[in-house]
Amino acid sequence: MTPADIHAHFDLQRQASRAHVDVPLLVRRERLLRIAKMLDEHGPVLAAAVQADFGMRSPRLTEVADFFVLRTLLSHTLSHLAHWMKPRKVRTPLYLQPASAHIQRQPLGVVGVISPWNYPVQLALAPAITALAAGNRVMLKPSELTPHTSAQLAALVAQFFAPDEFCVVQGDANLSALFASLPFDHLVFTGSTAVGRKVAQAAAQNLTPTTLELGGKSPCIIDGHCDMQDAALKIAHGKLLNAGQTCIAPDYVLLPRGREGEFAQAYRAAVARLFPTIEGNADYASIITPRHHARLRTMLQQAQTQGAEVQTIDPAAGKPVVHTVGTLGDGASRQMLPTLVFGATSQMQLMQEEIFGPILPVISYERLDDAIAHINAGPRPLALYWFGQSETVRDDVLRRTVSGGVTVNDTLMHIAHDNLPFGGVGDSGWGAYHGEQGFLRFCHQKSVLVQSRWAMGSLFYPPYGARFDQIMGLLRRWL
């Protein structure tokens, strides 16, 4: 699309949102049902596009990580939408009675969505679903790093929606910058903290409110009393889903000193259970591009040069490789082996940036206080994970740390709970969506006071005198 095309689409949606401010429940439901129909009828085509973009990523992985999440979101939203839309009555204070008051939940207008490449269907459509449920128009800019998926989304959305309802624009980073500069009524960005800062600056020029879903170094604390085998399996699943290219993947592990060997053995067993082979296994995704793959390899080389112990895990070492599916492009060559890193330090790139790959640093700690201090010394993470048995220790960790969300004795799962808001804090983002919190994020909550014919507001009018003093004295005693 050209800049003129993008401005034309925006103007069309803006005019429609102003001409039809009130969007009835039936219209909103019908729009959501169209997305459900689109997924049901064209899911295989979208999954094939994701596979083509990654080079190696099973349609079943896309089914669970993209489509299933969207279907649960649609089901939850459709079930609760009528209730969410209702005005909320609020109590009126004594000094304003007998007036009545309520909060009216209205659409904001036009919502822009800039989505990432790692879950290119889920993270494109999830905010769009919630924004449409709130009665808004939506413009979506998907990632240029997943061109097949972006093209399919553009074609399918154009097939199922009028351009003044929901449309997709495609282009490179320059087009993304233009997109972020449009005067949306709300802008959602999912991606890196560095790009999130640029998006926030562009949106600020128009006073456009934003929801930034970023990332960061999400820690995983292993307590001294936990089932190491169970913890390692759940950490391996959270770390290696989509080959670690997940914003809430465990970024590093904090482990009681002296248990490094036990954890390494348990983690290796967990990897072998989840992925008996790596190369050619479509359940184990490729790193998205050669550039991203090279970055991860550079991280490992630097860590090893500076004294860290790097342990790669190849469950099929010494065994003949059996390819489960044919490869597309160089996908298999970008399937990076799961790797543990012991002895990583804060001077290493590995501990300074979000990893976004199948590399797991393990940091040893003497006391829980040391682990908490390590977390609190850095930017606030998008997620935090704790494994242990003591509720007292668990609650101590939750009280003394701040993160976007937490899963206890598992990883990732808090994102799947539709009644929990999902979002970051500080460098990991701001604003949250999912469920009713997402609905409210894309609404304007308009305050309405309906005055009574019996109102006594004139008691507060000037000229002020003795009667005013008596009334104010009486109110002070009541308040």
CA distance 130 to 136: 9
| Alpha helices by DSSP H, 134-259 | 147-160, 173-180, 193-204, 228-240
- Selected catalytic residue, list 165, 167, 213, 226: 213
Residue 216 CB burial class (10 angstroms; 0-12, 13-18, ≥19): buried
Two structure tokens written together for 96 = 């304003």
Task: Calculate the dihedral angle through the C-alpha atoms of 319, 323, 328, 334, rounding to the nearest 10 degrees.
Answer: -30
Instruction: Residue 212: name the closest of 194, 233, 195, 196 by CA.
Output: 196
* Residue 278 CB coordination number (10 Å): 24
- Selected catalytic residue, list 247, 354, 436, 443: 247
Q: Determine the distance from the C-alpha atom of residue 415 to the mean position of all C-alpha atoms in its chain, rounded to a whole number.
A: 8
CB 200 within 8 A of CB 186: no
Long-range (24+ apart) CB contacts under 8 A made by 32-36 are: 32/74, 32/77, 32/78, 32/81, 32/129, 32/132, 32/133, 33/78, 34/160, 34/161, 35/70, 35/74, 35/125, 35/128, 35/129, 35/132, 35/160, 36/71, 36/74
Two structure tokens written together for 55 = 């080079």
Reply yes or no on whether 247 is catalytic.
yes
The CA distances from residue 370 to 186, 209, 388, 419, in Å, are 40, 38, 17, 33
CA distance 339 to 97: 66
Reply yes or no on whether 220 is catalytic.
no
Active site members = 213, 247
